[in-house]
Amino acid sequence: MAGARIAVVGATGAVGQEILRVLEEREFPVNNLICLADPREAGTRLSFKGEQIVVEGAGPDKLKGVDIAFFAVGGEVSEKLGPEAVRAGAVVIDNSSAFRLKDDVPLVVPEVNPEDVKEHRGIIANPNCSTIIMVVAINPIYLAAGLKRVVVSTYQAVSGAGKAGFEELEEQVRCYVDGRPLTSRVFQHQIAFNLIPHIDVWVEKDYSREEMKLVWETRKIMHLNNLPVSPTAVRVPVLRSHSESINLETERRLTASEAREVLSRAPGVVVVDNPHNNEYPMPWFTANRDEVFVGRIREDISIDQGINMWVAADQIRKGAATNAVQIAEVVVRDNLL
């Protein structure tokens, strides 16, 4: 197609602005762009392809004639305006958790289950950032050797809590250096020079909702409804990019060398695995990148059929904005508007 009429709802937020950058970088066929946000932010100007786009207040009337609407807002707004956009003729790609577990809404990571996009009924859900990062890394191993069990610990950057989380870490570091008292408003405890094993609210069996998203969403994306997943989610004093320690028990034995080869051929994966030269994935150099970086690939010495790996990726890019744009690329490529 020559170009699509695009709306970004929540365009002034971190993910919304990243979607604009990714659309431009990937040369997505945009015929017309509408930037929408809270009416209080109407009049804000955003840059796209050298032009200034004036932000308008989000509302159903602004979604008429839109082909693809990216929603980078909270679940309440998505639940209200998403169906309105669909009724107006748009395909909605939603970044909130509002639709992820609904049976009639595809939950898509294009490197893993692009074929699910064709099942959409107007709304396609973008998974949680940690889930996206993990399934890109583990799906190649699953395809090569099957999966019996996944154990994952996530080490999540403060920007996962939005701009306020980013600012709280910076402010606490300044206070520490200046000898001033540290206050915590965004996180449950001081985050500077600390780790907090608590993200989101507690749900079942003393697991947090952030942890259970890794269970529920991984099963849906990979079509493995009974896959055992044991998650732990930790907030760490890193500005950007999430890291994950992943242990996989496979159906057949893979050597570390075989796993490394499988991952080196996988779409969206970059293998950085030379630990004796201090080369492995880290948040610092994975920030502002679209790939999922995998290293510390080694055989589990506690079981016969196990692989350990260390993964890092930018949760705002691949974990949100880039994945959403990749979904839109599938929609356009396969004429699924």
- Tell me the C-alpha distance between 321 and 95, whole Å: 8
Does the domain made of 4-127+320-333 have the CATH classification 3.40.50.720? yes
Cβ atoms within 10 Å, residue 241: 29
Asked whether the beta carbons of 16 and 8 are under 8 A apart, the reply is yes
Q: What is the largest CA-CA distance in the chain?
A: 60
CATH top-level class of 131-315: alpha beta
> What confidence category does residue 3 fall into, taking pLDDT thresholds of 50, 70 and 90?
confident
Domain ranges of the chain: 4-127+320-333, 131-315
The DSSP 8-state label assigned to residue 301 in this structure reads T
Asked whether the beta carbons of 96 and 78 are under 8 A apart, the reply is yes
- Tell me the C-alpha distance between 93 and 323, whole Å: 10
Q: What is the pLDDT of residues 257-276, one digit of tens each?
A: 999 999 999 999 999 999 99
pTM of the model: 0.96
Q: What is the pLDDT of residues 142-190, one digit of tens each?
A: 999 999 999 999 999 999 998 899 999 999 999 999 999 999 999 999 9
Asked whether the beta carbons of 143 and 132 are under 8 A apart, the reply is no
User: Residue 333: pLDDT above 80?
Assistant: yes
Relative to beta strand 292-299, strand 242-249 is unpaired
Show which residues are catalytic.
129, 242
* Average per-residue pLDDT for the chain: 96
DSSP reduced 3-state for 240: coil
Helix (H) or strand (E) holding 19: helix 14-25
User: Residue 1: pLDDT above 80?
Assistant: no
